[in-house]
Amino acid sequence: MKKLSSGLLALMVLFSLCVAAVTNVYAQEVGASSVEFPYTGNRTAVWIVAQLHILFAAFILGAPIFVVISEWLGYRKQDPRYDRLAREITKVTVILFSMTAVTGGFFVFVLLAAYPQFTTSFINQFYVVFAIIYPALFIAETILMYAYLYTWDVWKGEKKGRHIALGVVLNLVCLLILFVINGPTSFMNTPPKAEGVSPQDFIAAASLWDKIANQSWFPLSLHRIDGNVAFGGFIAGMIAAYMYMAAKTQEERAYYDWMGFAAIWIAVGGSLLQPFTGLLLAYEMCDYDFSFCPYMMADQLSMFFEMQGVMIGLLFLGINYYSWLSVKRIEGAENVRMTILAPIVLVVLLPATMWVMNKYWIPDPMSLAFLLPLALSPFLFGRFIPMTVSARTVIKIGFIVMLASDAVWLTPAGFVATGTDMPDELKLPEGWDFLSSMPAKLSAILTLVFVTVVNYVLYNRTIKQGTILWGKIDFVSQFVLIFLAFTSTWIMGLMGAVRSLLKKYFHAYSLVSDLSAESFTPTLSYSAGWITAITVFFIAIVSLAVLVALRPSVSRAREPEGSAVPVAAK
């Protein structure tokens, strides 16, 4: 009830902000440029609503992907837990679906109030998208989403395939929406251009497709697809944690322990791809305009990236700590062993990758010729080497390697706000400066991903050789699940701010200047405050949705059949 009232209060504050601003808009003279949002200012007001909208949208676009995978797994394995997981997440998704629409509406209001001239011209650029394609797809998604939820009980048994097919169609529409709306979004960062023609002239002659298929459109869409899957998984993990904590019976605890485990598996799958699609996006943006690169890595946003390193380091540590806690509750885990090549490669990988990357920079195939055999050697040659070490030792070595990788990732050229203004006494001395180079950062990311893959291979092997005691996991793991959801939401907020700030003093880069007094790079401290506030608001609304959709009385009333779940299962 406390959460409900705080959520409503926050919504009311947000609504009153919008009403105040919109009222001011109508009070203005014709031709006046904009209104001033109280307390936040215009840019931050747009940022808050846009980020909230993106978070809800990311969840409702990402969740159906793993919902339908989960339903399909349940059908294939004849395991009712997957079906229950899929259904529970769908219930929460439907509630958050309406929040997506509400925040989307707010977003348009706030944007129109804050930047009426730019918004009007921007809508004109994409009027077919905003007036026809997007609403049509959104309506189709709404119909499909509700049809998917309400046909769950009708299309079961022999008709289950039909229901899964409906889920697949829903996902296709979700993906289409993502690709369509990423067109205008990415356009603001990288509007299409051509040599010898002014940006304004080129855009005036460009077709809608030219504007949508700009240079960062596809990489942004890819990055958002795997990001949404990972995000959906982390949020589902948090939902499982809440339900585990509130569970009254051992049977319920066993189910929600399993749900957390399944959600994190899916989230990890998405997370492992994130660094690579993120790099692809950064590469395309720097290729579009190289000045983005120093702005991000060495200049005004350098400490934002320092913070990103901290957060992703913590995220990977959290993921692997959860898998450690999961292994701890498996009976027989202590007997699981792995080839000695695994810890050797773990230790060698970071320095080896740094050396190779410095010598043969990607996309030089020589870098792959060195690194692929090294990374795959435990899996390819391990069976031929009789020496083994325990799974727990390998995981602990993995943690040390992760800490070393984090240290490399977090070492900047200097702890200063901008690289252009760096006194020598704050710089890394010669001989140490390789730690701040891009090859070092890339090596650190690759090593973090590799350690996580090894841990999950080990985890899988332990599951097969031991017995999982569902519902018996260390209670701390539930806080890890909440931590992962909070952190991944925060990272999305941070990187969303970075992507938007990359436009510098433009609304649409090089095309439409932001003439307001707010067109400058805010401090990391200011940004972090708002990112945290947005994260808290989002997590609070999700918690409220869980309370409404999955509280025990609702679950019991709607699911009297309650499938039996074994406490111990292989």
Partner 1 sequence: MGNIFKKLGVGLAVGGVLVGIARSQSVPADFQVLFLVIALIGAIIFMLLDAQPIGAMSGGKSLVSVVVFWVLLITVYVVGPSLLPQFNPEDEKAKIGKLLEKERKNSAQGKADELIARVKALDAQVKALEDRLKGVGGGQVAATPPAGEKPPAAASASAGDFMKVGEEQWQLQECYNCHKLRGEGGKKRGPELDNIGALLTVDEIQEKIGNPKSFMAEGYEKEWQKGIMPNKFKDLMDPKEMQALAAWLGTFKNASVNTPKPIKKN
* Stretch 458-497 residues interacting with partner 1 (CB under 8 A): 474-476, 478-479, 482-483, 486, 490
Say if residues 267 and 238 touch (Cβ distance below 8 Å).
Answer: no
- Helices 438-465 and 341-359: crossing angle in degrees, nearest 10, is 160
* Chain centroid to CA 294: 24
Q: What is the CA radius of gyration of the chain?
A: 25
With contacts defined by CB under 8 A, name the span among 93-101, 173-181, 397-405, 457-465 that binds partner 1. 397-405
Tokens of 259: 């749900």
Taking Cα atoms as reference points, which of 398, 422, 403 lies closest to residue 412?
Answer: 422
Residue 403 to residue 415: CA distance in whole angstroms: 20
CB nearer to partner 1: pick between 251 and 474: 474
Say if residues 322 and 484 touch (Cβ distance below 8 Å).
Answer: yes
With contacts defined by CB under 8 A, name the span among 72-80, 214-222, 338-346, 508-516 that binds partner 1. 508-516
Identify residues 324-343 at the interface with partner 1 (CB under 8 A): 324, 328-329
Tell me the per-residue interface mask from 193 to 232 with partner 1, x by CB under 8 A, - otherwise.
Answer: --x--xx---------------------------------
Size of the site for partner 1 (CB under 8 A): 79
Residue 60 to residue 181: CA distance in whole angstroms: 14
Smallest gap from residue 162 Cβ to partner 1 (A): 39
Identify residues 293-322 at the interface with partner 1 (CB under 8 A): 294-295, 298-300, 303, 306-307, 310, 317, 321
Tell me the per-residue interface mask from 15 to 34 with partner 1, x by CB under 8 A, - otherwise.
Answer: ----------------xxx-
Identify residues 66-125 at the interface with partner 1 (CB under 8 A): none
Site membership for partner 1, residue 146 (CB under 8 A): no
With contacts defined by CB under 8 A, name the span among 83-91, 258-266, 442-450, 532-540 that binds partner 1. 532-540
Cβ neighbourhood burial of 49 (10 Å; 0-12, 13-18, 19+):
buried
Tell me the per-residue interface mask from 242 to 281 with partner 1, x by CB under 8 A, - otherwise.
Answer: x--xx-x----x----------------------------
CA distances from 454 to 209, 276, 330, 339, 458 (A): 43, 18, 18, 11, 6
Residue 48 to residue 399: CA distance in whole angstroms: 36
Specify which residues 382 forms β-bridges with: none
Site membership for partner 1, residue 515 (CB under 8 A): yes
Say if residues 555 and 85 touch (Cβ distance below 8 Å).
Answer: no
Residue 410 to residue 404: CA distance in whole angstroms: 10
Site membership for partner 1, residue 389 (CB under 8 A): no
Site membership for partner 1, residue 367 (CB under 8 A): no
Taking Cα atoms as reference points, which of 10, 100, 8 lies closest to residue 534?
Answer: 10
Smallest gap from residue 183 Cβ to partner 1 (A): 22
Tokens of 154: 């009708």
CB nearer to partner 1: pick between 45 and 539: 539
CB nearer to partner 1: pick between 64 and 522: 522
Specify which residues 330 forms β-bridges with: 468
Site membership for partner 1, residue 519 (CB under 8 A): yes
Residue 105 to residue 223: CA distance in whole angstroms: 25
Site membership for partner 1, residue 536 (CB under 8 A): yes
Identify residues 405-444 at the interface with partner 1 (CB under 8 A): 406-407, 410-411, 414-420, 425-429, 431-432
- Residue in the block written with tokens 């009222």: 23
Specify which residues 414 forms β-bridges with: 427
CB nearer to partner 1: pick between 20 and 528: 528
With contacts defined by CB under 8 A, name the span among 168-176, 352-360, 461-469, 531-539 that binds partner 1. 531-539
